[in-house]
């Protein structure tokens, strides 16, 4: 009887091992797909940065800051002490 129980235990362990291997393969495939998606998205980043035109944005922000400071100064002068 012990021999049969041991044999069933071995079969169960082998089955678990096969299930673990299958699960590992599935997880590996998922990770590979995620990695490919990440690589594709990272290739799009330079084009996105170019589209933003950061230098123009910096100039626009500087101009806006100057306008706001001027308006603030005018507001203070008009109200006066």
Q: What is the 3-state secondary structure (H, E, C) of 6-35?
A: HHHHHHHHHHHHHHHHHHHHHHHHHHHHHH
- For 19-35, what is each residue's pLDDT tens digit? 666 777 888 888 999 99
The whole-angstrom separation of Cα 46 and Cα 40 is: 12
Residue 29 to residues 17, 22, 33, 80, Cα–Cα distance (Å): 18, 11, 6, 71
Above 90 in pLDDT, residue 5?
Answer: no
Tokens 């235990």, residue located = 9
Above 90 in pLDDT, residue 60?
Answer: yes
Above 90 in pLDDT, residue 78?
Answer: no
């Amino acid at each position: 009887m012990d021999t049969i129980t041991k044999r069933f235990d071995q079969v169960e362990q082998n089955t678990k091992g096969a299930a673990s291997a299958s699960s590992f393969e599935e997880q590996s495939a998922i990770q590979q797909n995620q990695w490919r998606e990440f690589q594709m998205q990272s290739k799009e980043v330079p084009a996105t940065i170019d589209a933003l035109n950061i230098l123009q944005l910096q100039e626009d922000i500087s101009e806006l800051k100057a306008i706001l400071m001027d308006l603030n100064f005018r507001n203070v002068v008009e109200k006066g002490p």
